Structure 1
Amino acid sequence: MSTLTLTLNGKSAEVPAGTTLRQLVAETIGREVAVDGTAADGGRLGVAVAVDRHVVPRSAWDATVPRDGAAVDLVTAVQGG
């Protein structure tokens, strides 16, 4: 199986070639993510994704496969002050 190397939140990560942002988000946060980018359990995800500093809309996560060497940032909302 072929892999590609990403920079995920500032750290090097190897993922299977063809991994979509939706799959990457699900694996990273440990929750199932629906094709439309929402939480499969109906809750809130509180996650935003940028690839090479460009925000990718949730609706595009399932169709977006980062290129080898891409910088992917997953930002999680945290409540509090």
Structure 2
Amino acid sequence: MVEAVYILCGLTSLACTVLLLRGYRRTRTRLLLWSGLCFVALAVSNVILFVDLVLFPGRDLSVWRSASALVGIGTLLYGLIWDSA
């Protein structure tokens, strides 16, 4: 059951990525681009979470998970600051 939750979280992040980047391509609103790039990194983080806890439970990939989430949130923060100026 836990595996299904991890997979659904990854698929949800991927769906958000696709919808945000598709919206950016249609409207060229830069905030959609930054949000889409953030969700790319969050989807990668969810994939790493699945690999870490389900496929290879003996390995510790928490640093990689945290790094990808940090990159995603940092990208969104940069985009928010860049577009507000």
The TM-score bracket by the shorter chain reads 0.3 to 0.5
Bigger proportion of residues as helix = 2
Higher strand share: 1
Bigger RCO of structures 1 and 2 (CA < 8 A, at least 6 apart): 1
Q: Rg bigger for which structure? A: 2
